[in-house]
Amino acid sequence: MNLIMGVTTYDRLFLGANFDEVADNILYVFARTEELAAEIEENYALHLSIVASQITGAPVEFMQVLPERLRQCE
């Protein structure tokens, strides 16, 4: 992904992001802010879902990116 978007953009978007889990073919990602979450989902969801499928070996059909503040504590 770093090669696709460049180092500066990659660091701005993904520094502090948490790729949480794949459940029911959905990759859940938590970004630092709502704005970053929207930008990641809008511009990079397809690329990230392909990479996540390759890494996990599980199909990822959709990617849900949420701001970190919506993350539930366990």
pTM: 0.85
Check if the beta carbon of residue 68 is closer than 8 Å to that of residue 32. Answer: yes
Q: What is the pLDDT of residue 12?
A: 93
In the chain, what are the domains?
2-70 (3.30.300.180)
**Tokens representing residue 32 in the block:** 């630092």
Tally of CB atoms within 10 A around 22? 20
The backbone torsions φ and ψ at residue 11, rounded to the nearest 5 degrees and listed phi first, read -65, -40
Q: Mean pLDDT lowest for which of 12-16, 50-54, 70-74?
A: 70-74
**In sequence order, which ranges of 1-74 are alpha helices (DSSP H)?**
2-5, 7-14, 34-56
Check if the beta carbon of residue 16 is closer than 8 Å to that of residue 32. Answer: yes
Higher pLDDT, 68 or 1: 68
